[in-house]
Amino acid sequence: MAAWRMVGAMVIACGLVGCGNSTEEGAHDTLGTQVAELSSPNGRNLNGRNLNGRNLNSAELGQMLVAVRFAGAERADPGASSLTRTWLDGSVFRADAQDGSVLSGMDFVGARFVGELGSGDTVALRVDDIQPGESDDVWAYRVSYYSLADNTWKPACQAADGSALGAIPVMGRWDYREGVAGGGAKIEDTQTFTFACEGAAIAKCVRFGYRPWATTATGRSLAPLHQACTRMVRADFCGDGTSYTMDGNWVNLYDASGVQSDSESWAVEAEWDAEGARCRAPTTRAGAREITCGSRASPPTCGQQQNFLLGTLLMSEIPPAVNQAPL
């Protein structure tokens, strides 16, 4: 995979919510163009600046949006038949209505969902616009949340300049804690999903081709690779939700599953699985910052291709002049 540098502030707050996985020749050029417009595959945030960050995780609510419920979903038309079951088909919403009709795709413009906050309280969410995937099954949604403080709807995902960003719905939820066992882990929950803001780890990894609902050409689920990617993007070496990188550092990643290939002659940084780094080199994106999990230090074989046969899902590389500045 080509390495891209970040072009703006990351747009997802540490804790939650990442393009198709075509392996045909030329597919990576298209992917590279799409990702470059978002930013590099590196940064501290797991989900969005507003959705799980500066608005919903500030004085306004003082807590984080941790998941979105399927139950309680409502159609845009309050007079229409109510929904009896709602689910995700990849990143496309579908639902059964009480009158026997079936809703799908663009039918969800204007639909409302119930978001779960860390305290157990809820917040209203609304789908304002839907952008179907043009060449793959990744759909993007513009979502708002209702601010009780301002009595108005606000973008759930925001760029650094305050403009609205899209979100990719992904089944399940994430553990937003840092520095503890389970931090940064994905929680498989069929009753909830995550609105993954574009530009942060969860959505980025979808855009890189690790669509957790899809499989490789050999039938292997991409879900573990997606989770490994979220660890890699945030440099969560210890697998406890702690990020050891700075927004804007360069990084290259690749796998042995036909999604991303190694395009750089850089130094191996680490090997990754869904739990974090399986091993790491002495020099990483952490720079001078001490990485606390010493048990995952680098053995001489770290970065060798045969390790893909031993449980490694992804490998990351960094350029020789990696930014050494501490966080």
pLDDT band at residue 63 under the 50/70/90 scheme? low
pLDDT band at residue 159 under the 50/70/90 scheme? confident
pLDDT value at residue 44:
55
Instruction: Give the end-to-end CA distance of the chain in Å, rounded to a whole number.
Output: 26
Q: Cα separation of 108 and 97, whole Å?
A: 12
- Distances in Å between the Cα of 254 and the Cα atoms of 69, 230, 260 are 33, 13, 5
Tell me which of 58 and 251 has the higher pLDDT: 251
Q: Cα separation of 303 and 267, whole Å?
A: 9
Tell me which of 322 and 250 has the higher pLDDT: 250
- Distances in Å between the Cα of 243 and the Cα atoms of 179, 246, 254, 255 are 9, 8, 20, 21
Question: Stretch 43-61: mean pLDDT, rounded?
Answer: 45
Examine the pLDDT at 237 and tell me if it is beyond 90: yes
Order of all β-strands in the sheet with 92-97: 83-89, 92-97, 102-104
Q: Cα separation of 316 and 164, whole Å?
A: 31
Q: Report the predicted TM-score, pTM, of the whole model to 2 decimal places.
A: 0.82
Residue 21's DSSP bridge partners are none
Amino acid in the structure at residue 34: Q
CA-based nearest residue to 26, from 317, 266, 261: 261
Could you report the per-residue pLDDT of 259-309, keeping only the tens digit for each?
999 988 899 999 999 999 999 998 898 988 899 887 666 778 999 999 999
At 267, give phi and psi (nearest 5°).
-80, 135
At 310, give phi and psi (nearest 5°).
-110, 15
